[in-house]
Amino acid sequence: MLTFTPSPEHFFVEEIPAYDPSGTGAHTFLWIEKRGLTTFDAIARLGAALQVAPRDVGYAGLKDKQATTRQWLSVPDVDPERALAVADDGIRVLTALRHPHKLRLGHLRGNRFEVVLTGATTDEEIEALRARFADLAAHGVPNFYGGQRFGADAANAARGLAILRGERHERDRRKRRLMLSALQSAVFNRTLELRAAGGRLTEVVLGDVLRKNETGGLFVSTDPPVDQRRVDAGEVLPTGPLPGGREIEPPPDTPARALEDQAIVATGATRDDFLRLGRELPGSRRPVLLRLSETAFSEEPSGPSQARAVRLRFTLPAGGYATVVVSSLTLTSA
C-alpha cells in the first residue's frame, strides 16, 4: 500500500516568489535551503549567525519542517558575501542579493512540490493511484488547511480563541498572529466540512461570496442558478470565511450566512469576537477548491526490496497544502 511519510528525503518544497530581488537596496534577500527545520528555526539560526534579531528577518511564507525546502528570507543591511559564508548543518544560503525593502508575509505566488510515496507492490496499485492523481489534477481538491497550520499539538486554534476573548496574552507578535490565524483556519475548515456534508462544496447557495478566478474579485450571489453556471464553467468559485473586521460576509438571513455562523459557533467563537480586534484581524475569503498545476507522475527506480515508490510533482497557489492533496489522493487524514 502506497503511503507518505514526510521527511527531507521524501518531501521537497520550493517557493515561487512574487518578485525577484533587484540587486540593490538596504535589505539582503537570502535564497535558502533547509532540512528538518521549521522556517522559524531557520530564522533563529540565521539571525544568530548574522547578528540580526529574528523580528527583523522577513519571510513570505512558512515551510514544512519534515522536508527539504527552499525559500526566500530577508535581513537588514547584511553584506551578501557574509551571508553566503554562513555554515549550518540544516541550512544552506544558496543566493544572496540586495533589495530595497523587507520581505513580507504573503509575498509569494505559490509553491512547487515533490512528494515520494512508498510501499506499492503491484502494477494495479500504481495505476489506480495514477488515475486518482489525474482526476485531482482535472477537478481540484477541497482547499482545507493542513494539520501543520494548527501546531504540533493541534492546540493553536484554542490558543487563538483565548487571545480573541482576552483570556490569554501573547507578547510575541509572530506567535500571536499564528494562533489567531489558526482559529480563522479552523472556522474555514469547519465551513468546508459543512458544505461537503450537505453535498454542496461547489454548489452555489443564496448569499455565497464568490471569487472570480481570473481577477480574484469577490461578489455576493443573488441569483444562484446563474452563478452556478459560472462555477461549472470555471469562471468563479464559492469561498469560505477567515473571519475578521473587514471580511466580506454573506448577507444576514441567507443560507450561506447561516452555514458560516454555524461554523464559527463550532469553534467556540462569535462574529463579534472577531470584530473586537479591529485592524489587527481584518479577515479575508478563501476559495473552497484547490487547483493543481504543473502535475507529473512517475515511478521511482525499484530498490532491492519488492516495494515500489512513485514521485508526484505539482504546483499549488499560495496557501495550498501538499499534505491535503496527498490525503485526498490516498484517502487518509491530512
Q: What angle do CA 249, 216, 234 make, to 5 degrees?
A: 100
The whole-number pLDDT of residue 300 equals 83
Indicate the pairing of strand 209-212 with strand 218-220. antiparallel
Complete domains list, the chain, with CATH = 19-106 (3.30.2350.20), 109-140+291-330 (3.30.300.100), 141-290 (3.30.2340.10)
Give the residues across from 70 on adjacent strands.
Answer: 14, 33
The whole-number pLDDT of residue 304 equals 60
Question: Residue 34 and residue 88: Cα distance in Å, rounded?
Answer: 10
The whole-number pLDDT of residue 303 equals 61
Give the active site residues. Answer: 64
Question: Residue 29 and residue 14: Cα distance in Å, rounded?
Answer: 16
Instruction: Please list the rounded mean pLDDT of every run of 10 residues in the chain (334 residues).
Output: 90 97 96 96 96 96 95 96 94 97 95 94 90 94 92 92 93 92 97 90 96 95 97 96 94 97 96 90 95 94 73 95 92 71
Give the residues across from 32 on adjacent strands.
Answer: 71, 93
Q: Which helix (H) or strand (E) holds 69?
A: strand 68-76
The whole-number pLDDT of residue 330 equals 86
The whole-number pLDDT of residue 302 equals 64
Using alpha carbons, select from 77, 80, 92, 82 the residue that is nearest to residue 34: 92
Question: Residue 280 and residue 282: Cα distance in Å, rounded?
Answer: 6
* CA distance readout (Å), 82 to 22, 30, 73, 87, 94: 19, 11, 15, 11, 12
The whole-number pLDDT of residue 121 equals 81
Q: What is the pTM of this model?
A: 0.88
Question: Residue 259 and residue 219: Cα distance in Å, rounded?
Answer: 18
